[in-house]
Structure formats: structure tokens, C-alpha cells
Structure 1
């Protein structure tokens, strides 16, 4: 029986993909699935990894949904579904100590915890970006003035893990309907955690002793089209969450991008200025043309939204079909594992 379903999403593979998959296969109670949105081109994968390919470039969230859907089908016919889903980008590496502790750490969390975020290290060992804050007019305006790190500290109840690596309970993921296939790339985890907030879910953070390494950028590089896609996804998010964001958020976000572009130009960081301007252009186009999908007719050959919805649909009813009573795991001895998750970093996800 597998207690973990680890889904790695790839588009052509990253430098350390084989190393990542090997670590997952060796992890106790873990079923490793590689969802390849491009082609493996003859590259080998470690024995024991399940490969899902041939569906086209459906993007990050839909690819995860595909793997979860296959696991749920198997659980209905062959036995219990995994307890936890690990969502993993292909440019992540899991240190040996983290890989050894991770299954026991997740088993220790009480049933009231729905998702767990992990600290990131950059490729050079420095702290990486592992947390974001949910968009609102206030948080975006604050970030413009003080930066994202200050906003994360200011609104701990709005923190969420970035999409490169996090864990979420499989029944919770199913009840939320998984990732929204409307997003091809970007904002899919922001949308997921916004819906988790609304459902009254709870989030915990693993201790800094158990980081993962996120190289970052290997799967997308510096593509101008993807900058526009980031803006388009922001427009999708604005429409999806208009009831809570209000009508002002797109304007605030646009103003934020204008300020960012000007700052980068003033400091001579031309590429960063072009990136911010590209995001702004994508936001404007996405708001004006809701069906606009530039990546579909690009070298990325993205699957259109209709295809993503067809392939990535998850039914919340599946959560009831696979759910079993959760039994809290026996807490491991601190002297043996040194994993004392601080109760102060478990936050009820409520904005009130």
C-alpha cells in the first residue's frame, strides 16, 4: 500500500530529473508518477516509476490531475488510495535526510491539517522562495511598496506554498476538484489554495531542517511568451475570484506591474523590465479577450482549454468513494527524527 502519491510534471525533463525520481522510488510508501507533457526522447527513468505521456502539453495543474485520476481509478478497483499527494516540479531535488523523514512527517500531522509546505533552498544553498501570499488589492499594493517577503510576514493567514513542491491530502484535493484546468501555467496553486481557504482548510509548514532544493527556471527559461502567459493567468484568476477580489484587483495589479517596469528600467535591468511589461501586456489581453491562449499556437504547443478540461476533470464525489477514517499516526520520537513541527506555524485558513 502506498501512503504517498508523488507526481512529477516535466516538459522535456530537467537536469536532475533522474535523481529526483530515484529519490522518490526509494522513499518508503511512495508511488512515483512522471507526467511528461513533452517527450522523453528515449531518456530512461528509474525502475518503478509510472510514466504518463502522449496527452500533449496540458500544463502543470492538469498534468497533476491526470495522475491523481489514474490513482483514484486504481484505488476504486485495487484498494485504498494514497493518503497524501506530493506535487513536484521536475527541477526540484530532495536531499537524502528530507526524503527519509518526509513520509513519517506527513503521517504525524493530525487529520485537521490539509496541506503542508516545505522550505526551499536555491541551487547554491541559499534560501529560496517557498511561500507566496494570496492576491488581494491590499497585499498587491503592500508588495509594491515593501516586497513579497514583508507581505508574507504581514499576512501569515494568507500564506501558501509555491507550486514547485508541496503536499496535500488526496481526499482534500479531490473535494476541491483538483487544479483548475483553466490555467495552463501559473496561478494554478494560488487558485487551489484560495479555494482551500474558502473551504476552511488548514495548512502547516515543515521545519527548516527538512528543505528541498529548487533549481528554478529549467523548465521555462526566459521565454517572453511565458511572461505573457503569467499575465493571462492573472486575468483568469481575477475572473474566477471576482466575488472575493472585487473589481479593483486587476487595476491594482496592473499598477504594480507598471511600477515594477519603471524600477527595473531605472536600475538598468532591461530583461526584468521586459518581463514585467510582458506580464502587464498578458494581463491586459487576458482581461479583454477571455478566450485568448497564445501558448496554443506557439512552440510550446499548449493544449487548449477545452482539451485540458476534458483530460483534467476531477469529480469531488471521488473523495467520498475513496475516503477512509483517518487514524493519527504515532508521533515519532524527537530524539530519533528531530522533527518537532512547531504548532505555531499551523494556521487556520480563514481571512476573517
Structure 2
């Protein structure tokens, strides 16, 4: 097993996987594609590109599927976790590996993630960050390598053994805030989160999966539920009642003016908050609880 293996979680991702896997191959990084019950040709596309495919009979969610992929990469020293709509630029892997040697206290390393509009993603704070305070949320972009309060789960490099000792991504989260939670646990373990400026990755943002009916409602449900879950997990102020009230009102107003997009968006957020308030789980919603 090579010292670095990429894990890519796919769900109806056949349209973007070829470019992602080709870039990994150009960087000489073998890939494990965890197929989350895709209805398209994602698994076949991955196999044709030379990736090892792990097939989930049900969609396990982003974090849970990534943990399965990391476990499957036995013998690898490091894992590169990336979305299927991420394309590594030439030299990105060498830059990440060099940074890992330069900063031995780094628990997570991430490249400079460039968005479709040419800007690069850098989140100046995290809901779960008790370190590197930035209460005003100033977005002063780094011009070189930097410690960060948060690194996006769209592309991360981590030592496999360290990741598994932490328990991987929180298995209770189906979607959203699993990267915030991982960053918090890495920091709590005394390791740094390092933005590697010289490593560049292009991110399609939102193109990992083919659009489907009800997708907006479902994603907003999980976003609201997961925010409430991690807030409770770390003893933060509970966002449920304010979020529920605000989004229910917006959903009602959207229904009055026949704005279906608003009903889906705000209705999904209200439904997710209500489910969390009732003690329902994300896994139960997805039929994943035993």
C-alpha cells in the first residue's frame, strides 16, 4: 500500500469523478472511491479510472462513508480526503507532503481551495472553534501557510492512524458539520490545523452530486439538525428555538407568495430544527439506525 491514499465519497457523481481521479493519477495517488448507493454510473466510472471501489448498499452520508474508506486503506500512512468535484492542481500533493514534514504538530492539512469564481475558500471562524478566536469574523486571507480555525472537509490530509484513534468522523452526523466536529477534536488533541498555501485544489462547490427533487429540503434539514447536534455536543447555546421560529416564518411567507424554492429551503431548515428538538436523529431519518 502506498504511503498516501485518496478517499473519495461518491453519490451520483459520475459527471465529476473522471476529472477528480485523473488529477489524482497525475499526482501518483491511488484512490479508493466509496460509492454511496449511486443511481448513476459512479462505481463503473471509478473502476474504469483504476480506483478501488467500496460499494455501500445505502447512502451512509459523507463522514460515515469517508471513515469506511479510511479503514479500507490499510497500510497507508496518510489519507487525502476529497470531494469528487475537487481537482488537484499539479504539485499539490508534494506541497501537502512537504508541509506535513515541516509542521509535525499538524493534525490536519488542507490545500488552498479555489472556488469556481476564482476566489479561494478560507473560513475565518468555526462554530466549534475555542482556539484562534475571530469573533468579528474578519476574513483576512492568508498569503502563505497558516494555522486555521477550520479546514473544509472538501479536501483534507490526515495521518490514518491518528484519524482512526479519534474515531473518524462522528458517525451520528449524516451531513454537515462533520468537518467542524473533526477539526474541534483534532485541536482538542493538541494538534494544529494547517492551511497549505502552495497546494492548490479547484472545487466545483455543489457539483458533487447530480441535482434531484427534494435535494434542497433534505440538505437544509441535515444542516439544521447537525448544527443543533454539535452545539449540544460541545455545550454551546442551543440554536433550535430561534432557528425553528425564523425558518418556519420564512417558509410560511414563501408559501403565501408561491415561492417553492423558499418553501423547500426554509421548510427544510425548520423541519430539521423541529426534529432535533423532538430528539429525532439524522440516522433514523435516513433509515440507518439498526
TM-score higher than 0.5: yes
CA deviation string 1:19-54 (max 9, x = no partner): 1112213323x3311111023537433443111114
Query: In the alignment, what sits opposite 1:44?
Result: 45
Given that residues 225 and 294 in structure 1 are in contact (C-alpha distance below 8 angstroms), is that contact kept between their aligned partners in structure 2?
A: no
Shift of 1:214: 0.9
What TM-score, normalized to structure 2?
Answer: 0.78
13-22 or 61-70, which deviates more: 13-22
User: 1 or 2 for the larger relative contact order (CA 8 Å, sep ≥6)?
Assistant: 1
Whole-Å separation in 2 of the counterparts to 1:118 and 1:214: 11
TM-fit CA distance, 1:121: 1.3
Distance 2:91 2:141 in 1: 27
Contact kept, 8 Å, 1:128 with 1:214, in 2: the verdict is no
Which of the numbers 190, 194, 202 marks the counterpart of 2:184?
A: 194
Are 1:304 and 2:267 counterparts? no
Partner of 1:116: 109
Q: Which segments of 5 or more consecutive residues in structure 1 lack a partner in the other structure?
A: 73-80, 297-302, 307-352
Matched, 1:182 2:175: no
Distance 1:216 1:249 in 2: 29
When residues 226 and 150 of structure 1 are mapped into structure 2, their CA distance, relative to the original with a 3 A threshold, is: same
| TM superposition outliers: structure 1 runs of 4+ over 6 Å | none
Q: Secondary structure at the match of 2:106?
A: coil
Pair 1:66-2:72 in alignment: no
Residues 202-244 of structure 1: per-residue CA shift (max 9 Å, x gap): 121101x4321111112354521211111111222133222xx
> Residue 227 of structure 2 is aligned with which of 231, 234, 250?
234
Check if 1:92 corresponds to 2:92: no
132 and 63 in structure 1: CA distance in 2 versus 1, 3 angstrom threshold = farther
3-state SS of the aligned residue for 2:121?
Answer: coil
Give deviations 1:102-146, integer Å, cap 9, x for gaps.
45434533422111122211224x21434363315999xx98xx6
Higher strand share: 2
1:223 aligns with 2:206: no
CA–CA distance in structure 2, aligned partners of residues 83 and 252 of structure 1: 44
Distance 1:137 1:110 in 2: 20
8 Å CA contact retained: 1:132, 1:161: no
Residues 1:127 and 2:119 are matched in the alignment: yes
Partner Cα distance (2:14, 2:119) in 1: 21
Determine helix, strand or coil for the equivalent of 1:180.
Answer: coil
Ranges in structure 2 where 5+ consecutive residues have no aligned partner: none
Cα deviation for residue 273 of structure 1 reads: 8.3
Kept after mapping to 2: 8 A contact 1:6/1:85: yes
Structure with bigger helix share is 1
| Matched positions, count | 273
Flag the structure with larger Rg: 1
> Secondary structure of the equivalent of 1:162?
coil
Following superposition, the deviation at residue 293 of structure 1 comes to: 4.9
Separation in 2 of the partners of 1:294 and 1:121?
A: 35
Q: RMSD over aligned Cα, in angstroms?
A: 3.7
